[in-house]
Amino acid sequence: MESKQEHTPCPTRLAGDRLRSVGLRPTRQRIALAGLLFAKGDRHLTAEELHEEAVSAGVPVSLATVYNTLHQFTDAGMLRVLAVESSKTYFDTNTSDHQHFFIEGDNEVMDIPTGGISIDGLPDVPEGMEVAHIDVIVRLRRKSS
Amino acid sequence: MESKQEHTPCPTRLAGDRLRSVGLRPTRQRIALAGLLFAKGDRHLTAEELHEEAVSAGVPVSLATVYNTLHQFTDAGMLRVLAVESSKTYFDTNTSDHQHFFIEGDNEVMDIPTGGISIDGLPDVPEGMEVAHIDVIVRLRRKSS
DNA sequence: CTGTGTGCAAACTCTTTGCATAAGT
DNA sequence: ACTTATGCAAAGAGTTTGCACACAG
């Protein structure tokens, strides 16, 4: 309506605006990584995985930049860090309150369908402390049967 | 000195029997580490912390052996691994079903008083999978007031 | 004695950092 | 132009491993 550019559903521009709105310069790499991260629904991945994805997608970005970018996105509230197993950091594109399945062996993280779990009887929190977040991880293993 | 060794409630012997019963040779180091781990109630510590404790207690043990021993104890079911934050592995001397507080900033883990939390409405578990364990971590932060 | 455990140092994985170059506004 | 981001390689933390020596049974 205001300009002819609205006809183009350009994802790059959308990502750019989103980045700008959190104070990050929309560089090629950040736009590309944001595209990979937020295009296809909720995802859980490591820096290494995202890096590989970017390279396969023809976006030559360094692993260091992927790490930097993931942390910048996390600080901007676009991502959440997941502690499922020591020694690997998973980033979750869903920052809302939800829980996870973790498939042991496959090292795969899945969202638990919303409203799945409710937590009751939270005990007294120590003086001067408040709850920042409650992480629930349901660890699954393949049935031995 | 005396020959009446039965009168001595020797912790070394107790630890030795416990180790033997899980198929581990009761060596000096394993006995000492087991002593430190299980003497004073439930604990949550890293390999580094236990190593330092051992050295301070006059038990010269190498960090590598502490790691090995912690994993042997874990395999034997005497310990449980805790995934609270990436990049550090916490070992929990309480292997029963319970949940944890994690104090952000202090990096301290505390047990949540038993019966504190109940989890309802566990959703459908994917086909062929079963629940190995449910981890609940209540992350606390200092109140900003 | 015989085999297992230990210590050391080196290797390894994941992650962060310093600095010169490249890109954004 | 001026500033900020990127890439590379090197450093850093935490953890594992290989091998010679030491200890438990």
Tell which strand D nucleotides have any atom below 7 Å from a protein Cβ: 4-10, 13-18, 23-25
Section B82-107 average pLDDT: 92
B86 vs A5, higher pLDDT: B86
pLDDT of res. B113: 80
Beta bridge partners of B92: B44, B80
In a 10 Å sphere around its CB, with 0-12 CB exposed, 13-18 middle and 19+ buried, how is residue A42 labelled? middle
Whether the pLDDT of residue B86 is over 90: the answer is no
Portion of chain B with pLDDT greater than 90, in percent: 68
Could you tell me the fold of the domain covering B11-140?
Answer: Arc Repressor Mutant, subunit A (1.10.10)
Q: Which nucleotide is nearest to B65 (CA to C1')?
A: C6
> Minimal Cα–Cα distance from B114 to chain A, Å?
9
pLDDT of res. B11: 64
User: Is the C-beta atom of B138 closer than 7 angstroms to strand D?
Assistant: no
pLDDT of res. A51: 97
pLDDT of res. B3: 46
B15 vs A18, higher pLDDT: A18
Radius of gyration of chain A (CA): 18
Tell me which residue has tokens 């197993």.
Answer: A85
In a 10 Å sphere around its CB, with 0-12 CB exposed, 13-18 middle and 19+ buried, how is residue A102 labelled? buried
Portion of chain B with pLDDT greater than 70, in percent: 89
Question: Are A129 and B123 within 8 A, CB to CB?
Answer: no
Section B104-111 average pLDDT: 90
Question: Are A119 and B117 within 8 A, CB to CB?
Answer: yes
> Minimal Cα–Cα distance from B130 to chain A, Å?
5
**Alpha-carbon dihedral sign for residues A25, A27, A33, A36:** positive
pLDDT of res. A8: 54
Q: Which nucleotide is nearest to B67 (CA to C1')?
A: D15
The 10s digit of each residue's pLDDT in A1-40 is: 444 445 555 667 778 889 999 999 999 999 999 999 998 8
DSSP class of residue A130 equals E
**B141 → closest Cβ in A81, A132, A140:** A132
The 10s digit of each residue's pLDDT in B110-120 is: 999 877 678 88
Helix A63-75 to helix A47-56 angle, to the nearest 10 degrees?
120
SS3 A140: strand
Whether the pLDDT of residue B5 is over 60: the answer is no
pLDDT of res. A3: 47
End-to-end CA distance of chain B: 62
Question: One-letter amino acid identity for A24?
Answer: L
Section B138-142 average pLDDT: 93
pLDDT of res. B123: 82
pLDDT band at B124 (very low <50, low <70, confident <90, very high): confident
pLDDT band at B25 (very low <50, low <70, confident <90, very high): very high
| Ranges in chain A, pLDDT < 50 | 1-5
pTM above threshold 0.85: yes
pLDDT of res. A7: 56
